[in-house]
A = this chain, B = another copy of it.
């Protein structure tokens, strides 16, 4: 099996009795090859088990079928669901995914970008809107379409699909206040740009309602986790015992807050309201079920690829289209104070 010489276009060509370029065309632009020849070629390819050589194609055409994807984390559930959407969407296309893990570092993002770019990708998917100056310039000048995911704003590099973290946080906070909570707190981990925008949403709404208090805010740059949620809440409640609800940066933290509240015999939602962000699957299953802001991560991945594939097909770089996927408040028992 191995050791056998690779089957090439030329092999298929001589089998059919035409020249290599015709086989190539039959593969990429079938409409330019006569139907019967096309069929013969298909048969020959099957019989010989011909598989195109991507490297040769890339070298000759100075293009690839690779879509580069840059995300800040491969373990965070939020991104893995986006990834799933991406992989799903890509399955019915000729494209491959090349994944890069930026680890929330824009320097690392820049490096990866350069590597990716040197491979002449067919398209790029990057996370967020906080690229470094250099990265932004590289992306602006890239010879392929670019999609920014996870957020929206007015100044897309090219395509963009996401939602407003600020508005999501505003909605969550408004809900807590509407439910009758009067001493709202905030727990945040990681505090990457998206987390910060969520914090601002919280702060603004709480301030507008005259209910903002800095001692009810706790944040850390550590990676978010359930354990961390429990720890942050423990600190927070000692520092601000009058706290009556917490808006969490994300669902891991929210779950940790719930567990720690249970440990301390603090009744949820009676004595403490809890609201998360992203609405991971487990939020609905918890006891009590936890209120959260639902975001459409699978869709985001899927549609990012669709946007990209369309743009590639139309050879239309820099369209400036922004797709707002929105979010949904999922009200659950964890925030029913009355």
Residues of A within 8 A of B (CB): 1-2, 51-56, 58-59, 64, 74-75, 77, 80-81, 83-84, 87, 96-99, 101, 114-115, 118-119, 137-138, 141-143, 225-227, 229-230, 252, 255-256, 259-260, 262-263, 281-282, 284-287
Contacts and interface: CB of A to CB of B under 8 A. Distances in A.
Contacts of A87: 74, 101
A276 to B, nearest CB: 13
Given A51-B114, A98-B98, A2 B259 contact: no
B227 A281 contact: yes
Contacts of A114: 51
A20 to B, nearest CB: 16
Copy count, this protein chain = 2
B285 A256 contact: yes
A259 B286 contact: yes
A62 to B, nearest CB: 8
A205 B286 CA distance: 31
A142 B138 CA distance: 38
Given A2-B141, A80-B74, A84-B74, A54 B119 contact: yes
Q: Which 8 A-B pairs have the closest CB atoms?
A: A55-B58, A226-B282, A51-B118, A226-B285, A1-B141, A262-B287, A259-B287, A227-B285
A2 B142 CA distance: 7
Contacts of A98: 96, 98
Given A59-B53, A64-B55, A99-B99, A255 B227 contact: no
Contacts of A285: 225-227, 229-230, 255-256, 259
Nearest to A63: B55
Contact of A77 (B77, B99, B260): B77
A331 to B, nearest CB: 18
Contacts of A52: 118
A255 B252 CA distance: 13
A84 B114 CA distance: 21
A154 to B, nearest CB: 24
A280 to B, nearest CB: 9
Given A74-B83, A256-B285, 18 more contacts: A1-B138, A1-B141, A2-B143, A51-B114, A51-B118, A52-B118, A54-B55, A55-B56, A55-B59, A75-B80, A225-B281, A225-B282, A225-B285, A227-B281, A227-B284, A259-B286, A259-B287, A262-B287
Contacts of A230: 285
Contacts of A83: 74-75
A58 B77 CA distance: 35
Nearest to A52: B118
A287 B258 CA distance: 9
Given A84-B74, A96-B98, A226 B281 contact: yes
